Structure 1
Amino acid sequence: MTMRHTISILVNDQPGVLQRVSGLFGRRGFNIESITVGQSEEVGLSRMVIVTLGDEHTLEQIEKQLYKLIDVIKVINLGSKPMVGRELALIKVKAETSERPEILGVVDTFRASVVDIGSNSLIVQVIGDSSKIDAMIELLTPYGIRELSRTGVTAMTRGNA
């Protein structure tokens, strides 16, 4: 059964590591739905969070292949544990003066925020899980989305794990 998997990969912070990891996915025919990369808690190591689709066998193959890469230190299937996952989106919406109160109502409902106001547009920042971002985009679409920039999911296990 195809499911969405969130994988955390601890890697050496070296040039080309991102290319090798994403290349592995491409060569094996695994699609990357989203990828985020940044510093980790350890100097010299970066953390990649990748969201991909596949069954349990596919996930097992991905993990085995990742461990074959020299710069991969640790692979964690976050979906198998309680986790916190977040995404950020910046959405530039066409917003004439008459429409702004209605748009601001949507923004407040989603606990989002307006981070820029133009003469006929607003930039809305929304943070949450992917379904929250999707819902916000859907509600703002009728007003006219001029531009959309969305991060991938970043995640970690809950509690002491």
Structure 2
Amino acid sequence: MKRHTISVLVNDHPGVLQRVAGLFGRRGFNIDSITVGESEEAGLSRMVIVTTGDDKRLEQVNKQLHKLIDVIRIAEVSASPFVERELALIRVSADARLRPDLFGIVEAFRASIVDIGADTMIIQAVGDQEKIDSFIGLLRPYGILELTRTGLTAMSREEAVNGIPPLAEIG
């Protein structure tokens, strides 16, 4: 099974996200991650969906997405060189004696401390999924009190946008 990252450009209308997510659920396709936000074009949103499956499953997802009226364009971002990132906010126990160790971990991962309280701190980490997983693993012994992750977002590298190699359109 292969992980696929799909970019779906859709009309920015109420209910579009629900219809796309519902399509996956009704067909038994799992969404590993989904991010949605405005795109470079007014009135359109971009969904970045990460799913796992073979090429046949991906083809089926593509066919089903194309049936939705609000879907404008679909591209498999992971078919060519691309950049993916995720953001995590992590609240950890951080009394005065632990802070130097935590500062060292934060610096090594190029993360940042975005809030410090009397006994806790909130750390922001940005990177690929493996980096975030590793970072969280190192913080666990200190006591993670709260954790939130955005899910992956992705974009084709410049060469692919300019056609070298071409962006693989699905379908």
Which bracket does the TM-score occupy, shorter chain normalised? Answer: over 0.9
Matches within 5 A, 1:65-104: 65-104=64-103
**After TM superposition, where is structure 1 displaced by more than 4 Å over at least 4 residues in a row?**
none
Give the CA deviation at 1:79: 0.7
Percent of residue pairs identical: 64
Give the CA deviation at 1:4: 1.0
State whether structure 2 residue 145 is matched by structure 1 residue 146. yes
Give the CA deviation at 1:133: 0.5
State whether structure 2 residue 11 is matched by structure 1 residue 12. yes
Give the CA deviation at 1:115: 0.3
CA distance in 1, matches of 2:119, 2:29: 42
1:106 corresponds to which residue? 105
The unaligned stretches of length 5 or more in structure 1 are none
1:54 corresponds to which residue? 53
CA distance in 2, matches of 1:35, 1:16: 15
1:126 corresponds to which residue? 125
1:31 corresponds to which residue? 30
Instruction: Read off the aligned partner of 1:19 and give its amino acid letter.
Output: Q
1:158 corresponds to which residue? 157
TM-score when scaled to structure 2? Answer: 0.92
Give the CA deviation at 1:152: 1.0
Provide the aligned length of Structure 1 versus Structure 2.
160
Instruction: Read off the aligned partner of 1:151 and give its amino acid letter.
Output: T
RMSD: 0.6
2:134 corresponds to which residue? 135
- CA deviations 1:54-90 (Å, max 9, x no partner) are 1111111101110010000001001101111110000
CA distance in 1, matches of 2:52, 2:94: 36
CA distance in 2, matches of 1:80, 1:26: 24
CA distance in 2, matches of 1:36, 1:128: 15
Give the CA deviation at 1:96: 1.1
Secondary structure of residue in 1 paired with 2:158: coil
Instruction: Read off the aligned partner of 1:128 and give its amino acid letter.
Output: G
